[in-house]
Structure 1
């Protein structure tokens, strides 16, 4: 595909750095079969809900349009709750639906305590939260705390005068003399005159993730403000206690309305080096044409953890096990430990582990690499609940990233098996369950995502993964009655859609439903530990899920190759002696009656789940 990165596209300008940091360790199939009917059941333990949850990300613009204007909205999401319940979803994470100029499609918030009229009203959100409870689906909101829109009243005040009480709510700097030592030609491109008529440039060489300098001049105050992302997304100054107070107040506004928690956008970037030290250059240029730089002085600074601990305490003051999920693209599994709060586990409950689902396109479906990453999550994060994610609104869909162009649907089944049979909390993205594909614009004039507009043709933006949800074969795939939708509906909607796949017992959608239902109803799958089996097998990823001794255990095996593989699962180190099994679920008819763990032939990309008798 057109880009490969381990950070979301809002960070894609930094992709070369992260590609270096996060290197991975090292034809149609027969119709799938379900062997044991699985009904959606209530969870089998009373443990906190988020430990076993399926969290489903919704992009409100693209999910369901209820009023025919070509844009999805909150009432559209409410209409689709019965579908989400039938899928087995425990919580929906809704991408920003706050008032916004929509420069970055809602990630530039102009009011934290309301709903953008494009998406509905506060009453519509209250209705959605209430309806979610009736369908046993919690609502998690995206909370963007690193920056606001430049149209937020806080920034309008801040930029109006150096003496405004909110001036210090953002990161301002007078600049440095343009003829000073060490000033680069890059900085000189952003030269201005200060109050005394002297030429000044930005205080350092930092670049924005979306192209250009990270510093923007405001003539009214004769200062630069800092923006990690777009010019229209000024960074808040989290060293000012007033900022934390206001941000926590906005979170309380939604907690009081009944949301189940927050997904915290770009949370590692809250703080930047107070000395504004120049970033080390990594060599070469990124897709926006800027120098490749380390972001060590702009991201993952230790001060962020003090804020998260206070945030966790604030959220914990509410009943109902509210959750904090973090957008944490980090270089390795060990780097996740501080985000949980170390041994105290007093920070994020669920920092996203992107190392399993986004470990590099070059790996494709690699059993050894998955085994390494998942084992690390088991062993390096003791006492912590992992959160795995393969798809979101910022990245090319896993369909293309892991697909080989021939067996993509079979590989999508395998990815679903990894996600839903591991011990991790599972996060998925609208459309992954039906096999929606990335539909990237082919002409610059069709691009809606600003990063694709500024970076074309090297960077084509994120429109491809954000196309409208495909519901049925009617106009616009049932997404909207409008003549023109905000992004075009992909042409494959006549065959790839919810209504068609619901009717096909062996569809990708029904495979996802069966996996989620089994995860919910089987005790070992729901809350058992995970032990790797056959750890040296280069092609087959297999593990044991088990609870207490004497309780039924489950084995899972996934062939990650395009060739049949014969395996015998070695249970000798697990404490389980049984060799007889009962197949619970498989996507291959040839495995439906498998009753032993020895000499099992797994067809290409087959998944097989069985209970030890």
Structure 2
């Protein structure tokens, strides 16, 4: 594990990335010194919701292919496609029944090959989701394992006899799950409610499922499991995919003694005690798997990439996922603290601290503010009145920082969260079990809004798998493409700058005016001209500190119409909720 480097006062940060280059590489390319993923802009696609090519109301692979030109025009260079493998869809694809095929509702392998070929023509990399912690309970591996205690795959999942219920001190979830006089072996709870143990009469044992009951956890202490899972990953690497986003990667191992997790204060959405996942998450053995996986992936040509879903409470624990120089692990652990930290808010101090910390890792940072599991950032950081202006500030912070950036379908146009208002409309199982405290994740997964027309141009079927958000008549790609002041146009402008400007592409990141509670300022140094980024998180025009960039400046991007005409920072004021990117003139 690498040591985290901290600087007193955080007035500047250590530059750990590649040196600046005289001219940026074209999108989709890389060098030995700076692999393509080091400058990537990753765009997450939820395949059910992106484009429906056959009119069944569900998105599919051909629907993604049909919109590759739109993604190229936006300027992204890497597509992360959420699971499209065969699945009973208990967790909408994160319960995989076959790792080496395509779910028929999304198409077939020929459709995938065509998608990948068309993406490569446009210099777009394709990254797949890979779920290593668990399978579907309909996977042939589990069907065999559950049949008996003496079959070849009997030990491929986490099984336990349970404990004698009579006279034992049991938690409430254990008491509700007694079979043949046996209770689950400990108090572990599923992330989605209830006991994390499920009884199987054929074996007279419980299996462990950290997530849904339909998602049994694999036994990673069995070498055969690692061999089989690595084989599935090789299947896709051999087909030319550019890498993987690893789902729930910290949960591969459980305490072999199955000790109770400590109880924290409060209750979850299902009314059960909150637990600290001390013995059921982030066990050290997972890093050994990551090192072996990294070695396998690095042996392939083309600079393949491993991106990790790494929810960590602090930067030191995130840094551990990079591994060390001699024993590397993930190429890009996700820094989810900026967007989803429990105190995350539209506040200059929050963004400054999180961005400063993001630079303290021994590898390239990866910043995330939107994904398929959380309400959309325009709602989380908005105030109901200045949502688009605030979203432009957040976009500027994401796209001008020294980091790989990850965005989510719909975020560049300001798609909003459409949370169901009735439990009978909920499709997400966690929303069904957690209602009304937890209404699920349907709201951030609604169909992509391409046009103002029927079904937002997503499908010809009026009965889409989730309802189209009614605000698609004003929030859609077609409308925003025609407006220079739109959120989409702002994203395109910033993405082009990020790609073409040497300072933004490769430059060091230095924070200025660090005590300002309202304005976040940082400077990117690279090439022959530095770039200064100024972000006003307040609802009032703010004066700028003296000496930020003396002399005349030229605006590279300004979210307020008045900014391009301003030729100097001296005496200038940054308008409310404005983002301003300048360089010496």
Q: TM-score, normalised by structure 2?
A: 0.94
What SS does the corresponding residue of 1:128 show, helix, strand or coil?
A: helix
What SS does the corresponding residue of 2:373 show, helix, strand or coil?
A: coil
**CA distance in 2 between partners of 1:387 and 1:612 (Å):** 28
Tell me the equivalent position of 1:7. Answer: none
C-alpha displacement of 1:300: 0.8
- Deviation per residue, 1:26-56 (Å, 9 max, x gap): xxxxxxxxxxxxx996489742111111100
Cα 1:43/1:236, change in 2 over 3 Å: closer
**Match among 523, 533, 540 for residue 556 of structure 1:** 533
Cα 1:43/1:542, change in 2 over 3 Å: farther
**CA distance in 2 between partners of 1:498 and 1:181 (Å):** 60
What SS does the corresponding residue of 1:216 show, helix, strand or coil?
A: strand
For CA contacts below 8 A with separation 6 or more, give which structure has more relative contact order: 1
1:142 is the counterpart of 2:129: yes
| RMSD of equivalent CA atoms | 1.7
Tell me the equivalent position of 2:14. Answer: none
C-alpha displacement of 1:473: 1.7
What SS does the corresponding residue of 2:147 show, helix, strand or coil?
A: coil
- Deviation per residue, 1:374-393 (Å, 9 max, x gap): 11111x31x41110011001
What SS does the corresponding residue of 1:109 show, helix, strand or coil?
A: coil
**CA distance in 2 between partners of 1:456 and 1:494 (Å):** 29
**CA distance in 1 between partners of 2:413 and 2:465 (Å):** 21
**Match among 57, 64, 68 for residue 70 of structure 1:** 57
C-alpha displacement of 1:176: 0.9
Tell me the equivalent position of 2:502. Answer: 523
**CA distance in 2 between partners of 1:160 and 1:491 (Å):** 48
**What are the within-5 Å matches in structure 2 for residues 435-454 of structure 1?**
435-454=414-433
1:226 is the counterpart of 2:208: yes
**CA distance in 2 between partners of 1:464 and 1:136 (Å):** 31
**What are the within-5 Å matches in structure 2 for residues 298-377 of structure 1?**
298-344=280-326, 346-360=328-342, 363-377=344-358
- Contact 2:339–2:368 at 8 Å: present in 1 too? yes
Tell me the equivalent position of 2:107. Answer: 120
Cα 1:397/1:130, change in 2 over 3 Å: same
**Match among 553, 566, 576 for residue 543 of structure 2:** 566
Q: Which runs of 5+ in 1 are unaligned?
A: 1-24, 26-38, 194-198, 572-576
**Match among 536, 556, 562 for residue 584 of structure 1:** 556
**Match among 53, 75, 88 for residue 88 of structure 1:** 75
Cα 1:215/1:612, change in 2 over 3 Å: same
**CA distance in 1 between partners of 2:485 and 2:319 (Å):** 40
1:457 is the counterpart of 2:400: no
**CA distance in 1 between partners of 2:497 and 2:173 (Å):** 56
Cα 1:269/1:44, change in 2 over 3 Å: closer
1:541 is the counterpart of 2:520: yes
C-alpha displacement of 1:345: 6.4
**Match among 348, 368, 372 for residue 389 of structure 1:** 368
C-alpha displacement of 1:596: 2.4
**CA distance in 1 between partners of 2:413 and 2:41 (Å):** 16
**Match among 398, 402, 405 for residue 426 of structure 1:** 405
Q: Which runs of 5+ in 2 are unaligned?
A: 1-9, 11-23
- Contact 2:198–2:207 at 8 Å: present in 1 too? yes
Q: TM-score, normalised by structure 1?
A: 0.89
**CA distance in 1 between partners of 2:485 and 2:435 (Å):** 40
C-alpha displacement of 1:600: 2.1
Structure 1 window deviating more from structure 2 (46-55 vs 406-415): it is 46-55
**CA distance in 2 between partners of 1:345 and 1:156 (Å):** 36
- Contact 2:291–2:327 at 8 Å: present in 1 too? no
Paired residues, what number?
561
- Contact 2:338–2:344 at 8 Å: present in 1 too? no
Tell me the equivalent position of 2:149. Answer: 162
